[in-house]
Structure 1
């Protein structure tokens, strides 16, 4: 296992971390998965107040398992933003009680997804006092945040200098947040990448097209290598539901060297194929089309179309598209069928895309039964 410094926290984290959102079938499977992770050299476990019984299960493991000692692992737990300092204080104490620990290594504000959320944290009358109190008395050692918000919001949160680390969405198939990676690195913040296998493209079940384009590597291996080769990134989340899933991904634990010539060639081939498959219909993710009068999440919808058309990542596209209008601020914006063809976006698009037509096409390809967040 490789380890990297988690920014200004100065914690030395394994480059792979265990996220516990999916590992909730039973306390026994939860414990087996964590025990196996420790054997593999993983020393960072991420949980959250909102992840069902995850915090409680983790506390039981510390209490009952001789194979996992508190001093062996660093814990990150996450609490939602709130304007109420007393509420935050209560949540911190409840997490400590459920985890059965005296302190939390890293506390992340779970989802600074809107400008209002950021104001709740920065406002002197908000929850900052409770957070500062917990930092001062040692109940919390380091403060960070996770986010599903816009790039502009993420950059603003980093610029507050309140945080020592950030949990971020950033993958080969979604590089919009590269500026946030760069700014976090400049600020000496730890960078924790959220769910590369799942949110990065559901790469544990890749299409035949994508598998062929990535050969001789697997799509999952390539996306982890893309991230592990970036020294600005500290650790990547794995979300195993059981020990078997953990074992399938742990082979990457020491593959953090720069990309090889063969890997670079495969990535270039993916880019060439994208250009050829999409032609003049390719959205290049400049975000100039926003804002939309109908609050349609145009760039994300067209990104999903890019992936579905070029790489046959239709299953992933459906998985994400169906969350629109159903996941609130976790995945904001309306679906493509809300387009009124007002034309407001057309003159702003440097690629001169027929955006209304592409939105309708995407809706036909990807719409279906609505989805919500996994823990909901």
Structure 2
């Protein structure tokens, strides 16, 4: 989704992927000309006799809510753009609301997914989600899906129990953007670099997820150099070593020291809010801004609120009416309304355009 300046850029990234031992390519029609460029690049490599030793594994996605006929048309167009006779994986792109899951399990989406498998156009069905933990849990428990793509990050591990549940059920689990959405770790703040010394923040993030058993990490490469770390870590599975454990503890200790008694521990006991303010998610951004000086990343995420539809939160901290309903439920006795006010003051900035949508 990031190598879209030209077909030459895409093939340079694919050559680097081959060299790094990467064979899983994840794309979507929503990513501009990505599928078209990818199909061209795969054909060029095939003409040159270059192929992944294990064969390419290709995932694409369809947005929920479309009709059966439209879904058939879109899937055939995906295959045509990619130059393939079938997809290894087809995901529901953004299973973010209960209506999306209903569509996939009982509506025209269910008919579409079943048709794609019966016709031999798709090997596996899965989903990506930016939705609630309850919704993701329901999707995993439905037994309809063979894999899921979730936001799983070193600095935001709240969905790891869901990932473990999926893995225990035999599902594949892809971590969505451990680098960029994980805190823009490809360009970390000096404070975060110090907190992770002697390990690079991105390297620690990758190793943390691999040690948790996550089966696939996505790497949004726009340049061959973006795959260098992935190449270095191609065989770096298994539990964290002592140095990595020490660094992880150091990271958390530094965050706690800077936040002091104002640290939100993400227990979610404060919910529900009468104004539907997503308190833990907003205070998590404050944790990262104060705890690791990730101001740019946190401002970007905060200012997407209400501008990205069902892909992100829709209510920001300014909606808090200081009713105090959350206060007695917080086991850490946080001054939540004041912390929300501080979050809004710190992170409110001129909105930036989303990469997609």
Once residues 179 and 293 of structure 2 are traced to their aligned partners in structure 1, the CA distance between those partners, rounded to angstroms, is: 17
Q: 2:288 aligns with which of 291, 295, 307?
A: 307
Q: Decide which moves more: 85-94 or 320-329.
A: 85-94
Summarize deviations over 1:210-250 as a string: whole Å, max 9, x none: 1111111111111111112223x111000011112223542
Within the alignment, does 1:32 sit opposite 2:15 as a pair?
no
Q: Decide which moves more: 176-185 or 340-349.
A: 340-349
Residue pairs, 1:155-234, within 5 angstroms: 155-231=137-213, 233-234=214-215
Match of 2:84, SS?
A: coil
Structure of greater relative contact order (alpha carbons < 8 Å, 6+ residues apart): 1
Residue 150 (structure 1) aligns with:
132
Q: 1:99 aligns with which of 73, 79, 82?
A: 82
Match of 1:145, SS?
A: strand
Residue 257 (structure 2) aligns with:
276
**TM-score, with length taken from structure 1:** 0.90
Query: What is the Cα deviation at residue 298 of structure 1?
Result: 1.2
Residue 360 (structure 1) aligns with:
341
Residue 58 (structure 2) aligns with:
75
Once residues 306 and 158 of structure 2 are traced to their aligned partners in structure 1, the CA distance between those partners, rounded to angstroms, is: 22
CA RMSD after TM alignment:
1.5
Once residues 332 and 85 of structure 1 are traced to their aligned partners in structure 2, the CA distance between those partners, rounded to angstroms, is: 29
Once residues 113 and 354 of structure 2 are traced to their aligned partners in structure 1, the CA distance between those partners, rounded to angstroms, is: 26
Match of 1:109, SS?
A: strand
Match of 1:30, SS?
A: helix
Match of 1:162, SS?
A: coil
Residue pairs, 1:281-360, within 5 angstroms: 281-360=262-341
Summarize deviations over 1:276-300 as a string: whole Å, max 9, x none: 2212111111112222232322111
Residue 87 (structure 1) aligns with:
70
Summarize deviations over 1:256-277 as a string: whole Å, max 9, x none: 2321111101111122222222
Residue 122 (structure 2) aligns with:
140
Summarize deviations over 1:146-173 as a string: whole Å, max 9, x none: 0000111100000110000011111111
Once residues 225 and 154 of structure 1 are traced to their aligned partners in structure 2, the CA distance between those partners, rounded to angstroms, is: 24
Q: Decide which moves more: 238-247 or 365-374.
A: 365-374
Query: What is the Cα deviation at residue 83 of structure 1?
Result: 5.1
Query: What is the Cα deviation at residue 200 of structure 1?
Result: 0.9
Q: Decide which moves more: 286-295 or 336-345.
A: 286-295
Runs (4+) off by over 3 Å: 67-71
Q: 2:36 aligns with which of 38, 48, 56?
A: 56
Residue 45 (structure 1) aligns with:
25
Once residues 83 and 333 of structure 2 are traced to their aligned partners in structure 1, the CA distance between those partners, rounded to angstroms, is: 57
Summarize deviations over 1:53-109 as a string: whole Å, max 9, x none: 011111112333334548820100011111522222121111111111100000011
Q: Is the 8 A contact 1:22 1:240 kept in 2?
A: yes
Q: Is the 8 A contact 1:89 1:131 kept in 2?
A: no
Summarize deviations over 1:37-67 as a string: whole Å, max 9, x none: 1122111000001000011111112333334
Once residues 252 and 322 of structure 1 are traced to their aligned partners in structure 2, the CA distance between those partners, rounded to angstroms, is: 34
Once residues 343 and 274 of structure 1 are traced to their aligned partners in structure 2, the CA distance between those partners, rounded to angstroms, is: 26
Structure 1 unpaired stretches of 5+:
1-20
Once residues 54 and 196 of structure 1 are traced to their aligned partners in structure 2, the CA distance between those partners, rounded to angstroms, is: 20
Summarize deviations over 1:183-232 as a string: whole Å, max 9, x none: 1012110111110011111111111111111111111111111112223x
**TM-score, with length taken from structure 2:** 0.95
